[in-house]
Amino acid sequence: MWDCPNDGLIVFYYGHDSGYTSVELLNMIRTIPILFYFLFFTQLNGQLAFQANEDSLIGLLNSMRSESDLNGMIEANLKFKNSLSQIVAEKDAFEYPFDRLSKLMSTLKSPDDRFRLFNWNVEKPDKSQLYFCLVVIPDGRKSKNKVIDCRDKSSNMRKSEFKSCTHKNWFGALYYEIIPYERNNKTEYLLLGWDGNNTLSSKKIIESFSISKSGKVKFGLPVLSSDSKVRKRVIFEYSDKAYMSLKFHKERKFDQIVFDHLSPETPQMEGFYQFYYPDFSYDAYRYLKGKWVYTPDVIVKSKGDGIKRPYNDPREDQIRFR
């Protein structure tokens, strides 16, 4: 017979009450290495299959981005999206790193392993952007992951900072960070994103997001409080020549999202956001009792030396896939 003590080692022992002859036990022992080899090669074959799939996806994505004609881009993008949807629906795809694909698009996983975002942009010949996002949710009761295709409807959205959306009318962006938080005893998320917008201006976005128990997604939750208003997402627009920092920062007392304060180049340019630039002051949204509350003129502590200084991020933090 065999037993498995706390250290995880399999120990074989033989006694008169085992119910097995020595020959039977010997045959059992011989099957153990075969089982281990089978499991090893099964896992290896799975990894090789995903590597091949990743190679195929990279080829399709690069092919799409090499198209100079908009119709060609859209057709090639559809092929890429259909292939990606099939691949990420596979059970093991949720844990597969997609390291090489991640250099060309966003493949974020939530810190709590609740979902994963496969998110990319298509830059049109006029430099405006189209955004695509697949939300992948693992389901232990089924053989496939749930894949939700988000449709970018931001160009037709009015009062977008106050609108709740489903995957059918998503406010498109390219996400680079997922931030979990608790509200009403449930886990919700903020998504930090970027929008290339056009040749004149870019945007940074704080999006709120949730997943129901049944796996339905919702964008736009009433959690971003500022100026006596509660927004469902916050959109910052600024000159395409500038870089705006928008970064999650964890403090001992509270979590906060710190960002550059934007001002017009001259007072006459107020309202013309292609002339807005960081003015070397910094604001934040601080997490307080289930909401993110706007806080102006913040100073945050550097993790490195303990010296208090304005918070800023290097330019390479900006994500732009073309």
What residues does each domain of the chain span? 153-322
Sort 163 into a burial class: Cβ within 10 Å, 0-12 / 13-18 / 19+.
middle
How do the pLDDT tens digits run along the chain, 322 residues long?
Answer: 434 444 443 333 344 455 656 655 556 555 556 555 544 444 545 577 889 999 999 999 999 999 989 999 999 999 999 999 999 999 999 999 999 999 999 999 999 999 999 999 999 988 899 999 999 999 888 889 999 999 999 998 999 999 999 999 999 999 999 999 999 999 999 999 999 999 999 999 999 999 999 999 999 999 999 988 999 999 999 999 999 999 999 988 889 999 999 999 999 999 999 999 999 999 999 999 999 999 999 986 655 433 343 433 333 444 555 5
What pLDDT, on a 0 to 100 scale, did the predictor assign at position 34?
59
Please enumerate in sequence order all residues whose Cβ is within 8 A of that of 55, keeping only pairs 6 or more positions apart, or say none: none
What pLDDT, on a 0 to 100 scale, did the predictor assign at position 49?
81
Does residue 230 contact residue 224 with C-beta atoms inside 8 Å? yes
Give 233-274 pLDDT, tens digit per residue. 999 999 999 999 999 999 888 899 999 999 999 999 999 999
CA distance 298 to 279: 13
What pLDDT, on a 0 to 100 scale, did the predictor assign at position 300?
66
Single pTM value for the model: 0.82
* Secondary structure of residue 248 in the 3-state scheme: strand
Does residue 283 contact residue 295 with C-beta atoms inside 8 Å? yes
Q: To which H or E segment does residue 64 belong? A: helix 22-65
What pLDDT, on a 0 to 100 scale, did the predictor assign at position 141?
86
What pLDDT, on a 0 to 100 scale, did the predictor assign at position 251?
85
CA atoms within 13 A on the CB side of 186: 9
Does residue 38 contact residue 45 with C-beta atoms inside 8 Å? no
CA distance 202 to 127: 11
Q: What 8-state DSSP symbol labels residue 165?
A: B
